[in-house]
Structure 1
Amino acid sequence: MRTSGYSGLHRFKIVRFSGYEFSLSSVNLAVPADEEELANCCKSYDQRKRRVYKAAPYSPNFAYTGAQLDGLPGTGIGGIPVPAPGDTAHEYQHPPPGAFRGPCPGLNALANHGFISRDGVTNFDELVAGQQNMYNVGWDLAVVLAVLGIAFDGDIITEKLSIGGDATNRTAFIGGLFGKEGGLNSHNKFEVDASLSRNDYYLADGDNYTFNTTLFAMMTETVGTTSSPQDPRFDLKGLGLYKGLRYQQSLNTNPKFYFGPKQLIFYGAVSFLYELFPSSTQGNTPNLGNVASFFGAVPSSTNPGTFTSQPERAPPEWHNRVKPYSLVDAIVQLNLLYLESPVLFGGNTGVGNFDALGTITSLITGGTYTPPPTPQELLCLVYQLVTDDDPDSLDHLLDLPLDVLNFAINKLDPVFGQLGCSFSRKA
């Protein structure tokens, strides 16, 4: 970043930022004179604001899977109690005043246990370490999920992200100057229609992030039909059925319903209910007790089959996965989940007026997804969907700015490159 100006209150003339030029000739700003002074000033302010709430530092006494706040892999050795006995830094705490929470139960629980910043404004290194340490998510999958969130909803310079709503003044390098950063609540980016437990954006006046206990009850009832109503299991078969029902529900009620190609990626997140939330000391069974705790659902004692809500947390005496849940593992599961209830990709132009998408890739044509013959081909499809300009509505192409694209590629190449996937942007 280059500025023409001097210390104190002065008039900016031109700001050049990674190839983009903005005229700010009419804006008076009191800022330090150079980049280093500006960075130190902002860093100092940010540390003062967040000292109480940032993620608990790494401790060799409570190493979990050994991932530190450096973006690198941990040991991948799990089966660990979370929080570990005596580890007060990772005990559940109620979200502090003004904290951000959003549509992802797993991230909300990470914040409530201090594996990422308890105020919900986190960063790349926290996300990568936190997922590994709490859930034993594989490093490769943790990187992909962190990149998805930051690239679409956060700030690629500071590598910060709100796990809930707009926190631009906290996430951006110069808060708000280059536009809003909406956090994970932003519609049709990380958050999508036909969610497991959140309302569609259009049907709830923009509230696509509040936990809907009625939807959770519907999910519980649905998975009970494929396992046992008395002991429902949130497994592949039950959740595959429920995803199909939610699709039909949104299709039939939401005039602006949209189910785009990136939705395929988020089938992987559905698998977390039976791959990450079960306790390894309970046979990795995706039972109601464990899943409800991570969603913040509390069964009613007076009205069976209904729920109230509380902040998300790990269940009592819960142990994480023994082996890491890798990117390849998630890719295999997202494919299986989709095939339980195959649906068309596209969206509504009014209820009863569904338009299928055209050709997105050789595997998604006319709104229909054709499963690839090998997991590697599906991995490369996911890489393409993350890094290409794909529609985020029927009439709008999500055009990734070059800087965002470069951020994603630089972070993801160490993961996808070793799997034989190469970047190829559509013309």
Structure 2
Amino acid sequence: MRFSALAILAAVPLAVDAYPQYAKRYASLNAEKRGKYPILRRAAAPYSDQYPYTGAKLDGQAGTGKGGVQVPAPGDTDHYYQDPPPGAFRGPCPGLNTLANHGFLSRDGITTYTEMVAGLQNVYNVDFATAVVLTLLGFVFDGDPVSQMLSIGGEAVDRTGQHGNFTGEYGGVSQHGTFELDVSLTRNDFYLNGDAYSLNGTLFGLMVETAKNTSTAENPLFDFNAMALYRLQQYQRARVENPWLYVPQLVLHNYGAATFLYEAFPSSAKNNTPDLETISSFFGAVQLEDGTWGHVGERPPPNWHNRVIPMNLADVTNGIDALYAAYPVDFGANVNGVWIPANQSYTPSTPSRKRQASGSGGDTNLICGAFQEIFITAQNSPQPYAMLEFILEKATPVMAPYNCSIPGLTSSS
């Protein structure tokens, strides 16, 4: 069975008629309506034939996947590092902050679907399907399907739309409880001080100490072993320190983010080694004279080259499986300091292994499973019909070769 995008789209106007509260916003998807609500923003620096990176353009399409290139390219001043401009948005994801600081996303931190799909490919050499999945996950949780804009930091309704009138009921990547969750690597839990997006130098220092213990004090490596153990340590610490901790199964996304430290951030010019120089640079962590860690703008280290082979969904999902399997934890919540288990469980596909080699980026189950999560989340978004059309438009070309059957969507033989 293969779902029919035309059948879904044909049914949407009927659903909107049945739910008139969505009709105005849904109608605003067309260009005529959109033009009545101008949205002012900066834009990512354009790509050129002189500096092609992995060949992705600002058109939402696939690049070449030919990596091992230096980022930013020598001479490509449009993509050199700049401090965030006044009023710019930055959030809890070091990888996205790095893209914005180099102009691969709009430097103001208000980005678009096409910018993210291109930036993930060109900088980290993420393959096209994975770039689409990661971008759409960001949008279904925190982005605006009408303006097709996303704040990589906090709420930006004055830039992504007109709150209550056009679009804008989305909080950005920093919004707690959506893409940003408790028990991150280097960010506070939201309850502790209301800031779950800024780098916590103390937590970064603890991550460094863990890496020293799993490798060497002289050359700490932020590899699989370090990330698996540190994820456990962060969980244990949060269970004690956060009386209102919330750890749903969705927190597995945090495990996926941890794979970037040893899959995407290491430089191919340094044998893909996730060393302290590399990781501290991407996190914007700088050690101060007293040994503590402060924060500067996120960026790749000097002479950094991206992956030679594109990072695919198998790299991410195998990483999630392996990291969780190394130290399984319970899902649940602290309620005023009392732990309440959740009726959720997760069984890694290969629980006995510490790490599995990367599989094919074209694995049908991985592709269809990822898009199934996206569609389910879209149906619960503030504007489900607008989000559904947006997701169908972007996902259908990627899903087409895999004959995905998505539960809950109209399908045909």
Q: Does 1:224 align with 2:212?
A: yes
Structure 1 pair 399–252 and aligned structure 2 pair: CA distance change class (3 A): farther
- Confirm whether residue 58 of structure 1 aligns to residue 47 of structure 2: yes
Alignment partner, residue 300 of structure 2: 314
Does the 8 A contact of 1:165 with 1:184 survive in 2?
yes
Q: Distance in 2 between matches of 1:388 and 1:39?
A: 26
Matched with 1:21 is: 20
Normalized per residue, which structure has more helix? Answer: 2
Give TM-score, length-normalised by structure 2. 0.84
The residue matched to 2:73 in structure 1 has which SS?
Answer: coil
| Aligned equivalents of 1:249, 1:101: Cα separation in 2 | 26
Distance 1:376 1:39 in 2: 36
* 2:155 maps to which of 159, 163, 166: 166
> Kindly tell me: are residues 408 and 267 of structure 1, through their superposed partners in 2, closer, same or farther at Cα, counting changes over 3 Å?
farther
For 1:269 and 1:62, the matched residues in 2 are separated by: 28
Q: Does residue 361 of structure 2 align to residue 370 of structure 1?
A: no
Instruction: Confirm or deny that 1:197 pairs with 2:186.
Output: yes
Partners of 2:366 and 2:252 in 1: CA distance:
10
Query: Contact 1:197–1:211 at 8 Å: present in 2 too?
Result: yes
Residue 361 of structure 1 is matched in structure 2 by none
Change (3 A) 1:56 1:23: closer
Change (3 A) 1:23 1:295: closer
Aligned 8 A contact 1:267 1:337 in 2: yes
Pick from 337, 354, 378 the counterpart of residue 323 of structure 2: 337
Residue number in structure 2 paired with 1:424: 407
Residue 39 in structure 1 maps to residue 28 in structure 2: no
Q: What is the number of equivalent residue pairs in this alignment?
A: 378
Flag the 1:355–1:111 CA change in 2: closer, same or farther, 3 A.
same
Q: Secondary structure at the match of 2:333?
A: strand
How many angstroms apart in 2 are the aligned matches of 1:316 and 1:23? Answer: 49
Q: Which has the higher contact order (CA 8 A, sep 6+)?
A: 2
Separation in structure 2 between the aligned mates of residue 150 and residue 99 of structure 1, nearest angstrom: 19
Partner of residue 103, structure 2: 114
Measure how far apart 1:159 and its partner are: 1.1
Aligned to 2:339: 353
Q: How far did 1:344 drift?
A: 1.6
What does 1:20-419 align with in structure 2 at a 5 Å threshold?
20-22=19-21, 38-43=33-38, 46=39, 49-50=40-41, 53-172=42-161, 174-177=162-165, 180-204=169-193, 206-300=194-288, 302-304=289-291, 306-357=292-343, 367-372=344-349, 377=365, 380-388=368-376, 401-416=384-399, 418-419=401-402
- SS of corresponding position for 2:205: helix
**Structure with higher strand content:** 1
**Could you state the TM-score of these two structures normalised by the residue count of structure 1?**
0.82
Indicate conservation of the 8 Å contact 2:117/2:135, yes or no.
Answer: yes
Deviation at 1:99, TM superposition (A): 0.3
Contact preservation (8 Å) 1:199, 1:212: yes
Gaps of 5+ in 1: 1-15, 25-34, 358-366, 391-396
Q: CA deviation at 1:265?
A: 3.1
Amino acid at match of 1:411: K
Aligned-pair Cα RMSD in Å: 2.8
Secondary structure of the corresponding residue to residue 269 of structure 1: helix
Q: 1:385 to 1:262 in 2, by over 3 A?
A: farther
- What is the Cα deviation at residue 279 of structure 1? 0.8
Please state how far the C-alpha of 1:36 moved relative to its aligned partner.
5.6
Residue 341 of structure 2: SS of its match in structure 1?
strand
Q: Percent sequence identity over matched residues?
A: 47
CA distance in 1, matches of 2:46, 2:214: 42
TM-superposed deviation, 1:420: 5.5
**One-letter amino acid matched to 1:118:** R
Equivalent position amino acid for 2:342 in 1: A
| Separation (CA, whole Å) in 2 of partners of 1:400 and 1:344 | 32
Cα distance between partner residues in 1 of 2:400 and 2:232: 33
**CA positional deviation for 1:17:** 10
